[in-house]
Amino acid sequence: MFRQEDEMTDLREELKKLEDLVLQQRDELRVKLHLAKADARDEWEGLERKWAEAQTKFAQVQKAAGESGEDVEAAARLLGEELLKGYERIRRLF
């Protein structure tokens, strides 16, 4: 009879340890998810500013097509690539 009680006590202790571990992992992931959302939001806001700048550059490139707009074109391409990389960073957070 004592052996059965000991086994039940051991089982309860093991289950409590498992519960504590699951709870700890859950809490850690919840914090990471919250931080990821904040990181994604910050990244998005920065990209929105760059997008506004990119639209201006793209318009300048179109207007300067055929003229000496190589610097503007290079800047627009670089900005476009930065935006794509930023969007990919956000995508990886989810």
pLDDT at site 24: 92
Residue 59 to residues 20, 67, 81: CA-CA distances in angstroms?
58, 14, 16
- Are 83 and 54 spatial neighbours (Cβ–Cβ below 8 Å)? yes
pTM attached to this predicted model: 0.54
The whole-number pLDDT of residue 69 equals 61
CA distance 88 to 56: 22
pLDDT tens-digit series, residues 5-63: 888 788 889 888 899 898 899 988 888 888 888 888 898 899 999 888 888 877 877 77
Q: What is the pLDDT of residue 58?
A: 79
